[in-house]
Structure 1
Amino acid sequence: MTFITAARFSKERLEKDENLRIRADQVQHHLREIALDVGLDPELNVTRAEVNDEVRIGISEYMDEYYREAPGSWRHY
């Protein structure tokens, strides 16, 4: 399955900065919650992966398309 990067963090900074780890967890939690809100399985539609020197939180292509088409605002700032 292809995932779209929704957030990315420096792996080194994430390991050293507790506040940044908390923020990354909040972003991932938010994405999982909005997946649940529309009946999508968060396990299949939200992922966290280490890619080289980054940690990326991504959403499935399907979830990305769904929310691009959906009315309202789903982004968490």
Structure 2
Amino acid sequence: MREQIEAALGKVRPALQADGGDVELVEVTDGGIARVRLTGACKGCPMSQMTLKNGIERILKQEVPGLKAVEAV
């Protein structure tokens, strides 16, 4: 599952990097939760939670069967 998540994050990264941010996968739990770290401009952005849930999580759930949620750490 980790490889699938990394591949899906590769599709999300260009949009984040265009705004000076990025995302990195920290871990995948046994329960199907991906823990990610937002970096760069995304780290302190007030819209980062919306980006995480409405952008990153939505795309990852479409691309990775069995993924239940995405959390920021």
Give TM-score, length-normalised by structure 2: 0.38
Higher helix share: 1
Structure number with greater Rg is: 1
Give TM-score, length-normalised by structure 1: 0.37
Ranked by relative contact order (alpha carbons within 8 Å, sequence separation 6 or more), the top structure is: 1
